[in-house]
Amino acid sequence: MDSPTEHLPEPVPSAAGTADPLLDAVLDDRYRIDGLIGRGGMAAVYRADDLALGRRVAVKVFSPSTEGIDDADRRKSETALLASLTHPSLVTLYDAAKDPVTHREFLVMELVEGRDLREILRSGPIAREETARMLADLAEGLHVIHSRGIVHRDVKPANVLLAPAHLPTRRWNAKLADFGIARLLDESRLTATGRIIGTPGYLSPEQVRGEALGSAADIYSLGLVMLEALTGVQAFPGPALESASARLVRNPEVPSTLGPDWVDLLTAMTARAAADRPTALDVALAAQTLDISVRSDGSPGGDASAATAATALTHPPGSLGDTRVLPATRVGGAPTAPVAAGAGAAAAPGETAATPAGSDDRDDATAATRVLTRPAEPIAEASRERERGSAVRERWERRPAWFVPVAAVAAVLLLLAVLIPTLLGGLASDAEPTPPATPLPSVPGELGEHLRQLEEAVTP
C-alpha cells in the first residue's frame, strides 16, 4: 500500500522574502488576490475581493501539479450542487474555475473571519459545553451533505473554522470547510495515482484499507476530532504510515473521566466497523443531551453560570416568583437538564424532578428545561400559616406551672357533667312506667275554668 498523504496538508506560512506571484493578481478577470491565509502542499488559500459582486471571499488556488476541475461541464454541475448546500455549519462554495492566464484551478468560498480548530487546540483542550455545541453544529452540517450523497473525506481540525459568536453563552459558531473537493478534483484521477484523500491522523479504517467510502467515514473522523478537542491529545499521533495503520488494530482510547455520555457516543462514532457507527443525524441529536456538568480538565462546567447570567439579563430578580434551580441528575442512565421547581410541583430543597416512568429518557432529556412555576399569592398565604403556627407554639411554651393540673380537673368535671345526666336518664328508662294521672274533679264556675286551664298547661 502506498504511503497515505494529506489531501490538504496543514497550512504553513510562506518563506520570508519569497514573492508570491498571485498576490495582487486578478483571477478570471474577477477575483483580486490581496493576502495569504494559509499554504499547503496542494493548495494555498487567499483573501480576495469579488469585483463583480463587491464582497470579500476566500480563494483556494491549487498547485500546478493538481488537476481535475478543467472539465468545464463537470465543474459546472458539481459547483451547482455544492453551492446549493447552504447551511450555517457549512462554508458556502460560490464558484470553481480555471484562470486562463495562470492556468491555475481555484475555488471561491465564503470568507470566515476567525481561527480554525487546529489553532485553538494548540492552547489545550476545550470545555465540554463548547465541544458539545461544536459537535452538534458539525454533525448537522454533515447530515446535510450526506443527504445529498456527498462524503467529505477530510474532516480534521484545520477544516473546522470557528467564527466568533455574538451571544454571551457561546464563543464560536463552527463551520465545516472543504466538503466536496474530492468530487470537484475528480476522485478517480486522484485515487488512480495511489493517493489517499484525507489526513493520516483522522482517516477512517476503510480509507486506510482503500475501500469504497460512505458517510460513516466522516463520522469516524469527526469522532477523532472531538476526542482531541476534549483531551488535547491526538488519538493516533506519529508518522503518516504508523498513524494510519494503528487504527486497523486498535480503537482510540476514550478516557472514562469524560463521563458515560461522552464515552458511549465517541466509542460508537469511532467503531472500526462502519456499520456500527451512528449517522450524522443521530450524532447531532445525541450532542444536545450530552453531560456538560464538568469541563474536560476536570473543573466545573460553565454552562450553569452562563445560563444563570443569561436568565439574569432577561428576568430581573423577583420576576420569576419563588423559583429555585435544582441540580442536573441522571435518570435511567440519561442526564436530565437542571429543573426550576416551584410550589406547583411541591419540590423540596435538594429534590430533583425525575423523568416520568415509562417515558424515553433520551427524548425527555432532549426536551427543553422544565420550569415549574409557583404563583406568588399561595407562597404568601403559606408563609402566614407558618407564622400563625409559630405563635401558637410560643404561647404554649410560656404557659404557667399551675395550668396543667387545673386543666386536668376541669376536664374531669366536664366529663362528669356529660356522663351523669346520661346515666340518670338510663336508670329512669329502666323503672316501672308511671300510671296515668287521675283526672281532677270537675268544679263548676270560674274556679273550675281556671283549674281546667292549669291542667292543660301542665299536661304533656
Catalytic status, residue 154: yes
What was the pLDDT predicted at 255?
95
Gap between the Cα atoms of 266 and 235, Å rounded? 12
Quote the radius of gyration of the chain (alpha carbons, Å): 42
Gap between the Cα atoms of 116 and 122, Å rounded? 11
What was the pLDDT predicted at 26?
95
For the chain, what is the largest distance between any 2 Cα atoms, rounded to a whole number of angstroms? 156
What was the pLDDT predicted at 46?
96
Please say whether the dihedral angle defined by the alpha carbons of residues 297, 299, 301 and 305, taken in this order, is positive or negative: negative
Tens-level pLDDT at each residue, the chain (460 residues): 343 333 334 444 444 446 788 999 999 999 999 999 988 767 899 999 999 999 999 999 988 766 665 566 666 777 788 888 889 999 999 998 889 998 888 999 999 988 999 999 999 999 999 999 999 999 999 999 999 999 999 999 999 999 998 888 888 999 999 888 777 766 655 554 455 667 889 999 999 998 888 999 999 999 999 999 999 999 999 888 888 889 999 999 999 999 999 999 999 999 999 999 999 999 999 999 997 775 444 444 544 434 433 333 333 444 333 333 333 433 334 444 443 433 333 343 334 333 344 444 444 444 433 333 344 454 455 456 556 656 655 655 665 666 666 566 666 676 776 667 666 665 555 555 555 555 555 656 666 665 666 666 555 5
What was the pLDDT predicted at 435?
54
Q: Between vectors from CA 181 to CA 175 and to CA 184, what angle results, nearest 5°?
A: 140
What was the pLDDT predicted at 316?
40
Q: How far is CA 152 from CA 67, 138, 197, 198, 199, in A?
A: 19, 12, 10, 9, 12
What was the pLDDT predicted at 361?
43
Q: How far is CA 142 from CA 38, 53, 197, 397, 402, in A?
A: 24, 29, 17, 72, 85
- φ/ψ of 220, rounded to 5, equals -60, -50
What was the pLDDT predicted at 11?
43
- φ/ψ of 175, rounded to 5, equals -130, 140
Gap between the Cα atoms of 240 and 54, Å rounded? 42
- Domains recognised in the chain with CATH numbers: 26-287 (1.10.510.10), 322-352+364-388 (no CATH)
Those residues whose C-beta lies under 8 Å from the C-beta of residue 159, and which sit 6 or more positions away, are 8, 116, 152, 176, 177, 178
Burial of 207 per CB tally in 10 Å (0-12, 13-18, 19+): buried
From 95, 154, 178, 291, active-site residue: 154
